[in-house]
Amino acid sequence: MPDPSLVVFRWAPGRPERTQTYRIEARAGMTVLDALVEIQRSEDPTLAFRYACRVGMCGSCAMVVNGRERWACRTLLASLKTEAVTVRPLYHFPLIRDLVVDLAPFAAKMKAAGAVFVPKAGEETFAPIGRHAKERRQIDAAVECIGCGMCLSACTMVGWDGGFAGPAALNRAFTLLADSRDGAGAERWPLLLSEDALLRCHGQANCTDVCPMELSPADSILKLRRKSIFQLVRSAHRLDTSGARVVA
Ligand code: SF4
């Protein structure tokens, strides 16, 4: 296959959107991030993109390559098998410039869904959960989120409803609700049961499809929904002090 070209989305404040095509001399093992760095260093220093670790750990280089969310540092050009490789910024985030998006809304969504650990009052500073505990197994399956934002970009409901908490925040909320050390469950449930959280997910599972850490936010959302049924029943019926069930 001939050397590919990179068709890159360009935008800066006050300028119209456009694409710019760069020819690449592809080397064996060259990634999309390598190609962008080479373009920036040797051809076009104005090209803006974000990266940090370069080894598939931090998620900073998340972008949309050939129509799919990927981390550029782990995406080999050869694996794409196309002569023209399209590169654009993540969807559903405000643009800062070229391939760089503003991740502030991501942090805001996390906060709005109560996706922050709140230690239980009076707990020991270190309250270990054994590695074989059921609780640990539940949490481990969902805990390795690196905050890359790819699941939000892939989620059509995030695009449709800017207020929707989105897959990463709901995934995080799931890990916290499963964690016996967390003390904010009572405050978190009303947020999760509001219009812009669990109800809004349509179960398309694009989030799970693109997550580079192989998490399944869709599965976490499903489990939260199951838990929410108990939550709703519990708030509709409460036990009086003698143990008799009464309707609230
Ligand atoms: S759940 Fe996966 S795709 Fe979403 S932010 Fe976390 S690591 Fe990225």
Strands 84-88 and 5-10: parallel
Q: Which of 53, 64, 146, 172 has most ligand 1 atoms within 8 Å of its beta carbon, as the pocket-test mutant?
A: 146
Which pLDDT does position 245 carry in this prediction? Answer: 46
- Helix, strand or coil, per DSSP, at residue 119: strand
Check pLDDT > 50 for residue 125.
yes
Residue 207 Cα to ligand 1 middle (Å): 8
Q: Following DSSP, what letter does each residue of 119-139 receive, concatenated? A: BPTT--S-----TTSHHHHHH
Q: Whose CA is nearest to atom 1 of ligand 1?
A: 168
> CB within 6 Å of ligand 1 — which residues?
59, 145-151, 167-168, 171, 211, 213, 215, 217
Helical residues (DSSP H) of 74-120, grouped into ranges: 77-80, 104-112
Which pLDDT does position 238 carry in this prediction? Answer: 61
Quickly name the fold that domain 104-238 has. Answer: Fumarate Reductase Iron-sulfur Protein; Chain B, domain 2 (1.10.1060)
Specify which residues 88 forms β-bridges with.
64
> What does the mean pLDDT of the chain come to?
92
How do the domains of the chain map onto residue ranges? 5-101, 104-238
Pick the CATH number of 5-101 from 3.40.50.1360, 3.40.50.720, 3.40.50.1980, 3.10.20.30: 3.10.20.30
CA dihedral 173, 177, 181, 183 (to 10 degrees): 90
Query: Which tokens in the block code for residue 127?
Result: 């309250």
pLDDT digits (tens, 9 = 90+) for 27-71: 999 999 999 999 999 999 999 999 999 999 999 999 999 999 999
- Helix, strand or coil, per DSSP, at residue 66: coil
Q: Which of 63, 93, 150, 219 has most ligand 1 atoms within 8 Å of its beta carbon, as the pocket-test mutant?
A: 150
Question: What is the spatial distance between Cα 207 and Cα 152, in angstroms, rounded to a whole number?
Answer: 7
